[in-house]
């Protein structure tokens, strides 16, 4: 584990680089699971290679801030990994090897999480047959192989749901303290947040979203269902979706300065008043 400074708040997060350096089994296990998933039509990205790519980025590229006030938003190492890999699903594996009278027994938990919402979308648990001859990656491969089909069915159900109902994201609209307006300010007898609500209704899949918090200073939209692809058939994520709202608010009759920030793939924040 390593400590991450999130704007003054200390958070403990996994140290992926250290794990790969100190545990030689991890790479082999990932390779075995990757092979099983590819055989079932789900190609996986190699997390170790993505981590190496992230290391080449300059530290200041990992931070975005207001050009006027210096206010900023930071990303955790996992958020940076999600942004770089652009993966729809994060697959995690836990395993334990226990002795038994008949040989080593491997237990595992295989889980899949939506990279945009961090919701668990598939899981599988099981134990392998006792074995004293095979190495751990092979033991784990055999144990997962016996339990992987229900896991794949759950994954496919998630993809089918996204195709039918859109991808789920979170969107927050806020204001800088220095701005002389707020979200309850009226333009042509309509509050700014009502304009935003109407835009959301027109741009989300079947108008599906939940306004979970609304005040003069911020509006939070959760369970926002956005199309998988835009009108040019390009993959759409939270940032690209929010860019549409930013453009809307920068045009007449608003003419606002708008800062766009993101956390991972699935959350976008618009801050009105300055950049």
pLDDT digits (tens, 9 = 90+) for 14-49: 666 777 777 778 888 888 888 999 999 988 887 777
Cα(122)–Cα(161) distance, integer angstroms: 13
Helices (H) and strands (E) in the chain, counts: 8, 14
When pLDDT is averaged across residues 197-208 and rounded to a whole number, the result is 97
Nearest to 77 by CA among 2, 170, 169: 2
Which residue did the predictor score with more confidence, 112 or 230? 112
How confident is the model at residue 20, as a pLDDT?
73
Give the whole-number percent of the chain exceeding pLDDT 70: 83
Helical axes 238-250 vs 192-203, angle rounded to 10°: 130
Across the chain, mean pLDDT equals 86
DSSP 94-131: EEEEE--TTSBEEEEEEEEEETTT--EEEEEEEEPPPB
How confident is the model at residue 58, as a pLDDT?
46
When pLDDT is averaged across residues 129-152 and rounded to a whole number, the result is 92
Nearest to 247 by CA among 258, 262, 236: 258
How confident is the model at residue 104, as a pLDDT?
94
State residue 182 phi and psi, 5-degree precision.
-145, 180
State residue 113 phi and psi, 5-degree precision.
-125, 140
Is the per-residue pLDDT at 245 higher than 60? yes
């Amino acid at each position: 584990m390593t400590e991450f400074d999130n704007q003054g708040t200390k958070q403990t997060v996994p140290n992926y680089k250290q794990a790969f350096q100190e545990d030689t089994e991890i790479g082999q296990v990932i390779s075995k699971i990757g092979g099983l998933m590819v055989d079932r039509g789900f190609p996986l990205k190699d997390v170790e290679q993505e981590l190496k790519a992230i290391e080449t980025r300059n530290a200041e590229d990992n931070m975005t801030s207001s050009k006027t006030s210096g206010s900023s938003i930071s990303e955790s190492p996992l958020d940076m990994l999600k942004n770089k890999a652009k993966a729809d699903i994060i697959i995690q594996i836990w395993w334990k090897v226990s002795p038994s009278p008949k040989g080593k027994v491997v237990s595992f938990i295989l889980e899949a999480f939506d990279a945009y919402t961090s919701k668990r979308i598939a899981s599988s648990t099981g134990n392998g047959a006792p074995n004293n001859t095979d190495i751990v990656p092979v033991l784990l491969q055999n144990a997962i192989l016996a339990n992987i089909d229900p896991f794949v069915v759950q994954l496919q159900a998630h993809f089918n749901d996204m195709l039918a109902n859109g991808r789920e994201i979170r969107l927050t609209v806020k204001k800088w303290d220095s701005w002389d307006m707020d979200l309850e300010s009226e333009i042509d007898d309509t509050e700014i947040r009502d304009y935003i609500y109407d835009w959301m209704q027109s741009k989300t899949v079947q108008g599906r979203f939940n306004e979970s918090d609304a005040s003069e200073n911020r509006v939070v939209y959760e369970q926002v269902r956005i199309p998988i692809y835009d009108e040019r058939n390009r993959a759409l994520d939270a940032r690209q979706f929010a860019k549409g709202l930013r453009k809307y608010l920068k045009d007449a009759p608003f003419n606002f300065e708008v800062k766009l920030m993101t956390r991972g793939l699935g959350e976008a924040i618009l801050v009105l008043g300055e950049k």
